Amino acid sequence: MGLKPQNLHKEPILNCSVTFKINGEERNVSIQPWVSLLDCLRDHLNLTGTKKGCDHGQCGACTVLCDGKRILSCLTLAVMKDGAEITSVEGIAKGDDLHPIQQAFIDHDAFQCGYCTPGQICSAIGLLNEGKAGSREEVKELMSGNLCRCGANVGIIDAIMQVKDGGSYE
């Protein structure tokens, strides 16, 4: 019953020109409409920091910030983000200066294999931007969209609590 990849559109499908600001730099790509933002970052822009876990919205590994908000790049088409400002994990540190969240992840052993980490870090910054999490319980609930197969969750929540309650994260 499976369909082979095919063009169901009656007209030829042209590549779309998409311009976004990625990690502060304006980039233009000519891209097919069905390419996800995740594949666009990794395969077209060579930004491989953002990871593909499930490719179905179920793990959070592909989390990036779009206009300051955390989203899943695997369920977003690159064409839908023309004109947007995207921050991936490569854009979090300022040169050699780690973002406080990155430092806190190191301080709290908030990873083992590191595969979920880029998504966790972008998600944590999104959470801090949103400003909706007060208690540790709320932080856990609002970080539930990022799974960690290594089970570093306690360290991850510790790291976020440190930055949140310790003040500055910008």
Partner 1 sequence: MNNFGYKQAEDTREAISLIEHNETAKFVAGGTNLIDLWKYNIANPSQLIDINHLAELSEIKTLEHGGLRLGAGVKNADTAYHPVVEHQYPLLSKAILAGASAQIRNMASNGGNLLQRTRCYYFYDAEVPCNKRIPGSGCPAKDGYNRIHAILGTSEHCIAVFPSDMCVALAALDAVVNITGPTGNRSIAFADFHRLPDNRPDLDNNLKKDELITSIDLPEKGFAANYAYLKLRDRHSYAFALVSVATALELKGNTIEDVKIALGGVAHKPWRSTEAEEFLKGKAANAENFSIAADLILQGAKGFGYNEFKIKLAKKAIIRNGLMALNPESQLPGAQPSA
Ligand X SMILES: Cc1cc2nc3c(=O)[nH]c(=O)nc-3n(C[C@H](O)[C@H](O)[C@H](O)COP(=O)(O)OP(=O)(O)OC[C@H]3O[C@@H](n4cnc5c(N)ncnc54)[C@H](O)[C@@H]3O)c2cc1C
Q: What are phi and psi of 78, to 5 degrees?
A: -55, -40
Q: Binds 114, which of ligand X, ligand FES, partner 1, none (CB < 5 to 8 A, cut-off by type)?
A: ligand FES
Q: Yes or no: say if 160 and 143 are a contact pair by the CB < 8 Å rule.
A: yes
* Residue positions counted in the chain: 170
Find residue 17's DSSP bridge partners: 30
DSSP three-state, residue 87: strand
Compute the least distance from the CB of residue 153 to ligand X, in Å.
Answer: 18
Query: Of 53 and 100, which CB lies nearer to ligand FES in the complex structure?
Result: 53
Q: Binds 100, which of ligand FES, partner 1, ligand X, none (CB < 5 to 8 A, cut-off by type)?
A: none
Q: Tell how far CA 113 is from the center of its chain.
A: 17
Q: Mark the segment that binds partner 1 (CB under 8 A) among 21-29, 51-59, 89-97, 102-110.
A: 51-59
Q: Mark the segment that binds partner 1 (CB under 8 A) among 41-49, 70-78, 108-116, 151-159.
A: 70-78
